[in-house]
Amino acid sequence: MYARFFGLTHEPFSIAPDPRYLFMSKRHREALAHLLYGVGGGGGFVLLSGEIGAGKTTVCRCFLEQIPENTNVAYIFNPKLTVIELLKAVCDEFGVKPEPPTHGEPTATTYVDALNAFLLQAHGAGRNNVLIIDEAQNLSADVLEQLRLLTNLETSERKLLQIILIGQPELRALVARPDLEQLAQRVIARFHLDALTEAETDQYIRHRLAVAGTHANLFDRAAARRIYRLTRGVPRRINLLCDRAMLGAYATGQSRISVGIVDKAAREVFGGADASRAARPFTQRTVALATGGMLLGGAGIVALAAVVLGGDRAASTRGVAASAVAASAASGAASGARSASTAAAGASAASAAASRPAAAASGVERPAPRPAANPTPRRGPASAADTPRRAPPRNSPAPAPRRASAPAPTSAGSAPALPASAAPSSTSALPR
């Protein structure tokens, strides 16, 4: 649909296994080498595992093209079979026709005897025999045990049947089961096919575009990075996302695919979960930086309040600062490790800033002011701090609570309030 719009001969990101678009990364070449080694390695089992869409089928197709001509191949696509059904399918793939039993239906022994005769005949003719089972993670334990018994037929030099098991990562856990230990000991080669790296993903996209007829990079750099993040380097997911992104660009008349087009295509193909997952690292960094900035700003405000209040209020301010910063640090730690480290730095800065005015108020004595030669008597209190506090009579009711801005009442165990003439003024106590 969009091929002519982009100057292509055909659409480059079809999920069909087209051999023209064969792309063999380093890991794919290693997987192919393991399969080829298994054919000439004297028989036994070869395991090839990988995620869905990682390219296992592509590797297997390459293997079938490069397999020696003197090799008989049986390919089983649907392994959800019973023991007898699997043996019958293997005989059909190799072209073996067992003799029908005189009574009843064919048994497992009927098919096994026919296979053994066929394998001996092929070995005498100088031919190898390979059995490939795809989606092998769906095999049952009894079927796997029967496959192991098929490899018992051997000569003094090699086994007469080579079995290749291809499947998803669950295949490795299946073979590692304790009841299948005998089968695991006959595995001569195993390989796990990982997804493409970010650089290989970019090469993969360029390769398919080049095969389709253009060497222009239709995806900008940011879009290619987002494609790798959304697809995790799985070739099939890359094909799905790129095909939908090119269709979206064609629909909007844009000749180059941007990040916005890729994100919209991801929501249409994969749903909203993958698109939000791609943006999650940026969100975490933003939250961490914002939390650290708020903590440092709060620490600065607390330190400034401690400097202005001074003296006894600095101690209470320091307690409030510790509580506030500790609470902020606890909430910041919930948003990630980076937020927690930033909160710890903010708490240290706040504690150090709050302790300096307190130390100055408690550890350094202020010089006493010199009495003036002709002191001028004051008729009234200069400030609220000079107002004398009188203890209430014993029989009088308790004073009404004051607002938070007014000074706190003198406790019962504190010293009695000084008269106005004896109480030092907060402004006159400072040296001029």
State residue 180's pLDDT score: 94
Distance set, CA 141 to CA 102, 181, 389 (Å): 30, 11, 91
Determine if the pTM surpasses 0.75. no
Residue 86 and residue 167 in one domain: yes
Distance set, CA 391 to CA 37, 104, 314 (Å): 100, 114, 26
Question: For the segment 125-150, what is each residue's pLDDT rounded down to a tens digit?
Answer: 999 999 999 999 999 999 999 999 99
Average pLDDT over residues 21-40: 90
CB neighbour list of residue 74: distance below 8 Å, 6 or more residues apart: 90, 93, 94, 129, 130, 131, 132
Residue 269 and residue 325 in one domain: no
Strand partners, 257: 219
Residue 161 and residue 228 in one domain: no
Which one has a higher pLDDT value, 47 or 282? 47
Residue 40 and residue 149 in one domain: yes
Asked if 241 contacts 219 with a C-beta cutoff of 8 angstroms, the reply is: no
For 329, list phi and psi in degrees, rounded to 5. -65, -35
Q: Percent of the chain having pLDDT more than 70?
A: 63
Which one has a higher pLDDT value, 229 or 354? 229
The span from the CA of 71 to the CA of 79, in Å, is: 22
CB neighbour list of residue 153: distance below 8 Å, 6 or more residues apart: 116, 119, 120, 159, 160, 161
Is residue 130 in a domain? yes
State residue 272's pLDDT score: 63
State residue 197's pLDDT score: 96
Is residue 351 in a domain? yes
Average pLDDT of the residues of the chain: 75
The span from the CA of 426 to the CA of 385, in Å, is: 7
Question: Parallel, antiparallel, or unpaired: how do β-strands 128-133 and 71-76 relate?
Answer: parallel
Q: Counting every residue, how long is the chain?
A: 432
State residue 5's pLDDT score: 93
Q: Which residue range(s) make up the domain with 35?
A: 26-193
Is residue 88 in a domain? yes
Question: For the segment 46-72, what is each residue's pLDDT rounded down to a tens digit?
Answer: 999 999 999 998 899 899 999 988 999
Question: For the segment 206-254, what is each residue's pLDDT rounded down to a tens digit?
Answer: 999 999 999 998 999 999 999 999 999 999 999 999 999 999 999 999 9
State residue 327's pLDDT score: 46
Among 254, 275, 296, the domain boundary falls at: 275
Residue 131 and residue 42 in one domain: yes
Of 89, 95, 84, residue with least CA distance to 121: 95
Question: For the segment 170-208, what is each residue's pLDDT rounded down to a tens digit?
Answer: 999 999 999 999 999 999 999 999 999 999 999 999 999
Q: Residue 79: pLDDT band by 50, 70, 90 thresholds?
A: confident
Sign of the C-alpha dihedral computed for residues 321, 327, 328 and 330 taken in this order: positive
State residue 375's pLDDT score: 47
Asked if 295 contacts 343 with a C-beta cutoff of 8 angstroms, the reply is: yes
What are the strands of the beta sheet with 187-193, ordered from one edge?
71-76, 128-133, 162-167, 44-50, 187-193
Q: Residue 273: pLDDT band by 50, 70, 90 thresholds?
A: low
The CATH number that applies at residue 97 is: 3.40.50.300
Tally of structural domains, the chain? 3
Residue 242 and residue 158 in one domain: no
Residue 257 and residue 294 in one domain: no
Q: Residue 269: pLDDT band by 50, 70, 90 thresholds?
A: very high
In this structure, which amino acid lies at residue 345? A
Is residue 423 in a domain? no
Asked if 193 contacts 57 with a C-beta cutoff of 8 angstroms, the reply is: no
Residue 268 and residue 290 in one domain: no
State residue 43's pLDDT score: 76
Asked if 388 contacts 418 with a C-beta cutoff of 8 angstroms, the reply is: yes
Sign of the C-alpha dihedral computed for residues 420, 423, 426 and 427 taken in this order: positive
Residue 260 and residue 313 in one domain: no
Residue the block writes with tokens 């009574």: 103
State residue 37's pLDDT score: 87
Is residue 426 in a domain? no
Q: Residue 321: pLDDT band by 50, 70, 90 thresholds?
A: very low
Is residue 168 in a domain? yes
Question: For the segment 382-425, what is each residue's pLDDT rounded down to a tens digit?
Answer: 444 444 455 455 544 545 555 544 444 444 444 444 444 444 44
The CATH number that applies at residue 252 is: 1.10.8
State residue 40's pLDDT score: 76
Among 275, 304, 331, the domain boundary falls at: 275
Residue 145 and residue 167 in one domain: yes
Average pLDDT over residues 334-352: 45
State residue 271's pLDDT score: 83
Is residue 10 in a domain? no
Assigned token pair, 18? 């087209």
**pLDDT at residue 277 above 90?**
no
Among 363, 394, 410, the domain boundary falls at: 363
Of 190, 312, 244, residue with least CA distance to 1: 244
Instruction: Out of 69-78, 99-108, 371-380, pick the least confident.
Output: 371-380
CB neighbour list of residue 211: distance below 8 Å, 6 or more residues apart: 12, 20, 21
Strand partners, 159: 154
Of 91, 189, 118, 109, residue with least CA distance to 149: 109
Residue 254 and residue 320 in one domain: no
Strands of 340-393, DSSP E: none
Residue 305 and residue 344 in one domain: yes
CB neighbour list of residue 379: distance below 8 Å, 6 or more residues apart: none
Is residue 33 in a domain? yes
Which one has a higher pLDDT value, 257 or 304? 257
Of 74, 32, 42, 52, residue with least CA distance to 191: 32
